[in-house]
Chain A
């Protein structure tokens, strides 16, 4: 990780700690929680690229320290570390959260490192842009790197307005030589390029309006700044091997996210318009529904159906695998004491034969242990598909976590 960034984080930490110690001695909540987890990944198919493994083991630790003042203001610190046997790029440390929340009657101000989520759909998180994806954690893009920011939030009768100032940019993490779930060409993060002369110190801004109108939840957002999703340029390393150079452009993104409840149906839409990445501006959207059967087969179990369509007007040029795809999924919640859950999904490319299947299941043991299993497989990947080079990266992953 960037040394300056660490220094800046340490500075923020000391600043937040100072504010915290100064502002109120009457602390009423001290809280330490978090988890430690062991994870095993098995890749049944032989690796396509030299250096890759058929299995890997890793360990992750994420404690969370939380403090609340009488005023309702609070301080949160969440560091994260993973040690991985298969890929040295997956062995990494991050500050997921280091925030001071200043809570007042008419505003909320958060200063520090945080994670913010925007969006409504389940399979592709299209409009979610504040945080950089921690891609080495999981290719489902749901793991994020902590984003340094100041966030002012105003909640009024007519809606909530959020203003974000992000003074430092986080680079995306990519699998290294030993890692699976990557293409043939390694992304060389040391050769990173920025469109802005300020590089990672470019100030990014975002503005969001969100409100609930009866059964409709609506969010409108504008982002101005460094693209989270880099363009990969062809390059060669010192020994003449082909590499990818990540390039982070300056973009403008306008987006909408909405969900609408109609009886047992939940309808969702995410859509964005982006300029500044590549030569052409583009639209993308993801939308669909979720329907839940409650108490199926008189058992107390809930069965949910998810259907989503994802489209990107760049089509084959898209920097996503979901340029014209349909996702369907079944979610089962057993509603037992162990909170047993399973999600089975199928993503089908509408232009080619490519499809992608996934199964995620979890169950609690005792009060503190959680066992999670994930299975993902790629089928019928044609050569032109975005994930063709990962066609043999079928993965079985088991994680056992202890929560405290």
Chain B
């Protein structure tokens, strides 16, 4: 026990900077640590069910399969393939996320067998008719925001950092986001989104976390509520598979045409 206390003191001494850390520096440090913990997954595939609910409580669902490739030094590459509703079955989206600037996106339309480049400059648009915007679902990179730590507090029984992040991207739909991140595993538990007029827009709550490869914590459920429209979207993730040996070749226009 004595050794443990010594260890604690030493590590806390090491962790505490000589000069006082500003809230901005602390926020950035948290984001960097979060990013570090997310590095190294290489690739994964997963299934997603998207449940859309409108103000009247009417529901409809979309079934999507997802493949993601980690790209060193840049944002991830991903392909999303629709299984349901059946009329859009086979529709697929190829996305190259970049740390800064706009992403590259191509859409495959199966009826015409057409691959179409789409402009992704405006990331605030709805992702597949859901309450998630493109900028919410593409890979999160440290460089995409400026940060500011607000406070530490217990959230749903887990000691969390509460920090704000401000999109660097000028076409973002948000002025700021308030993030609750648990201090033990760096799981994002909650994000509050504020629109360009700084009014509360949406709240994301993530739950049913599972640890993969003894390292990565991924949420099983992501619930996005839009306070301005009364609509909500629940994403349920299943069947996560890591290290499938995917490479760049699985994420080009040719592979998009046969991604089904």
Contacts and interface: CB of A to CB of B under 8 A. Distances in A.
Interface stretch (A271-279, A306-314, A331-339): A331-339
A153 B86 contact: no
Interface in B101-118: 102, 104, 106, 112-118
A372 B121 CA distance: 30
Contacts of A105: 249
B125 A302 contact: yes
A226 B106 CA distance: 31
A401 interface: yes
Interface residues of A, dominant DSSP: strand
Interface in A77-136: 101, 103, 105, 108, 115-117, 119-120
Contacts of A259: 116-117
Interface stretch (A178-186, A261-269, A376-384): A261-269
Contacts of B115: 117
A24 interface: no
A212 B129 contact: no
Contacts of B249: 105, 155
Nearest to B85: A367
Interface stretch (A15-23, A292-300, A387-395): A292-300
Contact of A292 (B59, B87, B122, B129): B122
A116 B87 contact: no
B27 interface: no
A144 to B, nearest CB: 9
B122 A115 contact: no
Given A142-B112, A212-B253, A403 B125 contact: no
A249 to B, nearest CB: 26
Given A66-B260, A153-B254, A403 B113 contact: no
A153 B121 CA distance: 31
Contacts of B72: none
Interface in A309-329: none
Interface in A212-232: 212, 215, 217
A370 interface: yes
B60 A338 contact: yes
Give the interface size class of chain A. 35 or more
Contacts of A35: 86-87
Interface in B66-113: 84-89, 102, 104, 106, 112-113
A241 interface: no
A172 interface: no
B258 interface: yes
Nearest to A118: B114
A160 B256 CA distance: 13
B214 interface: no
B133 to A, nearest CB: 9
B146 interface: no
B253 A300 contact: no
Contact of B119 (A33, A119, A266): A266
A364 interface: yes
B252 A295 contact: no
B139 to A, nearest CB: 19
A294 B124 CA distance: 7
Interface residues of B, number: 38
Contacts, number: 101
A295 B86 contact: no
Contact of A160 (B60, B87, B254): B254
A212 to B, nearest CB: 7
A119 B113 CA distance: 11
A302 B89 contact: no
Nearest to A155: B254
Contact of B117 (A33, A74, A217, A404): A217
A101 B258 contact: yes
B121 A337 contact: no
Nearest to B52: A337
B238 interface: no
B86 to A, nearest CB: 3
Nearest to A110: B258
A335 B126 contact: yes
Contact of A264 (B106, B112, B122, B129): B122
B52 A368 contact: no
Interface string B158-186: 00000000000000010000000000000
A300 B52 CA distance: 14
Contacts of B254: 108, 153, 155, 160
A250 interface: no
B244 to A, nearest CB: 12
Given A261-B120, A290-B119, A368-B87, 14 more contacts: A35-B87, A66-B260, A74-B258, A105-B249, A108-B254, A117-B113, A217-B253, A265-B119, A292-B119, A294-B122, A294-B124, A364-B87, A403-B85, A403-B89
Interface of A: 33, 35, 66, 74, 101, 103, 105, 108, 115-117, 119-120, 142, 153, 155, 160, 210, 212, 215, 217, 259, 261, 263-266, 290, 292, 294-295, 300, 302, 335-339, 364, 367-368, 370, 401, 403-404
7 contacts: A259-B117, A261-B119, A266-B119, A292-B119, A292-B125, A336-B54, A401-B87
Interface of B: 52, 54, 58-61, 84-89, 102, 104, 106, 112-122, 124-126, 129, 173, 229, 249, 252-254, 258, 260
- 4 closest cross-chain pairs (CB), A and B: A403-B86, A294-B125, A337-B60, A294-B122
